[in-house]
Amino acid sequence: MSQKSLHNHYPIVPPTSNFKLMEENGPQIMARGKGVYQWDDKGKQYLEGMAGLWCTSLGYGNGEIAETAAEAMRTMGFAHMFSGKSHEAGIRLAEKLEQMLPMDDSRIFFGVSGSDANDTQVKLMRYYFNAIGRPDKKKIISRHLAYHGVTLASGSLTGIPVNHALFDLPLDGFLHTDSPFYFRDAMDEETEEDFTNRILENLDELIQREGPDTIAAFIAEPIMGAGGVILPPEGYFPKLRALLDKYDIFLIDDEVICGFGRTGNAFGCETFDFRPDTMSMAKALTSAYMPLSAVAIPESMYQAMIDATAEHGVFGHGFTYSGHPVSCAVALKVLEIYERDNVFAYAAKMGSYLQQKLQHFSDHPLVGEVRGTGMIAGLHLAKDKETKSFFDPAGTAGAKVIAACVDNGLILRNLGDVIAICPPLVISEAEIDELVDKLGKSLDGALEDLK
């Protein structure tokens, strides 16, 4: 098909897109990638500073991973995991995850996306509490600005207005509490500790109001990604954990972005010092070379569901592609590369370098706050950082900076007026310098228009 027709005819309902803008501008078509770079179909080169959608941890065009996928396709291509069937790549991958995860013992359920992983979390909570004879313990608490996916259940966990608007979400049984957004929401003179205590008191009141016996779980991303790269304030997670323990509420750890080295440790819960009850993983599990998600639950939870499947028939939840053997083979290869090449330690080291360089933007007239850790960061744009006045309408400043980034050959993403930065973990020092240089030029360019 000619280039002209690719741009002129776009028979796709574009996911998470502004249809009106798509009608006006059409798609930007990406053609190839290598390392941390991508090229569009006109040959323009971009430094890819968002790792796709927070996922391409090992960068683009990795021949070793391609070979692994090709071999798995040649050997079999597909086998399922329903009704007693399984395959070696799936079992080996579950074993590997069991060793890596910061849980005492675990069982793994495989899916294909972060959304279905969190959907599975909701269904497992329902199934488990019904199985142990506590059918009232079903509600799940999430946070405003959380992003846990877009299916009906995971979209209900999500706390971002556009993911609810016109979809009649959230469904009943999903509650939202404060996000730990210190920069935006702290009151005058409030310390991080006071802020944390205040929002956790609000949570405590919510739990008491609803009744602890009606609440199954609380779900949290270690760093809230799509909501605006929001880092937990000092002491937030240990105090949250203690509060949930008091009321016998599970903590579901959504590691879909933070998992596999993004924060400089294998998992975000290690960086922020908390013990999860269950975990969701996807994205960097395969470095996005194949779709795959994993939910880890404790062995005790699994054991408690065994009798229920004897009594009620099969556990009626699973996808055709649960544990797709090509995806599992790719994940095993990706985890091997993480270990062999010390990718997480490298991400921690280069992450410090990235954060240190980004801190220079703290003084930029467009920037209210620079926040981040490891290989993930956000620049929160503000009209005036002292008075914390933000741009109106929200998102216009962010969109201008991103447009300038595109001109300068840099791919980042604006979440409203937060510029997200999340490069492949394998980015080099020189490439970080290039990213920061292009970002600086883009901020300066946008400043002309905005101040």
Q: Catalog residues that contact ligand PLP under the rule CB under 6 A.
A: 53-54, 113-115, 118, 147-149, 221, 225-226, 254, 256-257, 282
User: Residue 126 or residue 283: which is nearer to ligand PLP going by CB?
Assistant: 283
Cβ of residue 256: shortest distance to ligand PLP, in angstroms? 3
User: Residue 47 or residue 422: which is nearer to ligand PLP going by CB?
Assistant: 422
User: Residue 254 or residue 431: which is nearer to ligand PLP going by CB?
Assistant: 254
CA dist 418 and 226 (Å) reads 10
Cβ of residue 268: shortest distance to ligand PLP, in angstroms? 10
- Alpha helices per DSSP H over 170-286: 182-185, 192-210, 236-246, 268-271
Cβ of residue 295: shortest distance to ligand PLP, in angstroms? 12
Burial class (CB in 10 A: 0-12, 13-18, 19+), 212: middle
Cβ of residue 229: shortest distance to ligand PLP, in angstroms? 11
* Strand duo 413-415 + 45-48: pairing: unpaired
User: Residue 141 or residue 382: which is nearer to ligand PLP going by CB?
Assistant: 141
User: Residue 149 or residue 264: which is nearer to ligand PLP going by CB?
Assistant: 149
**Contact predicate 150/116, CB 8 Å:** no
Could you tell me the two tokens for 170? 């959230």
Cβ of residue 415: shortest distance to ligand PLP, in angstroms? 11
- Alpha helices per DSSP H over 260-324: 268-271, 299-312
User: Residue 376 or residue 381: which is nearer to ligand PLP going by CB?
Assistant: 376
User: Residue 156 or residue 442: which is nearer to ligand PLP going by CB?
Assistant: 156
Long-range contacts of 14-21 (CB under 8 A, 24+ apart): 16/150
Q: What is the DSSP letter of 374?
A: T
Residue closest to ligand PLP (Cβ): 114
Give the residue from 439, 432, 358, 337 showing the smallest Cα distance to 398: 439
Cβ of residue 102: shortest distance to ligand PLP, in angstroms? 17
Cβ of residue 117: shortest distance to ligand PLP, in angstroms? 7
The count of other CB atoms within 10 Å of the CB of residue 424 is 27
Q: Which residues contact 314 (CB under 8 A, 6 or more apart)?
A: 83
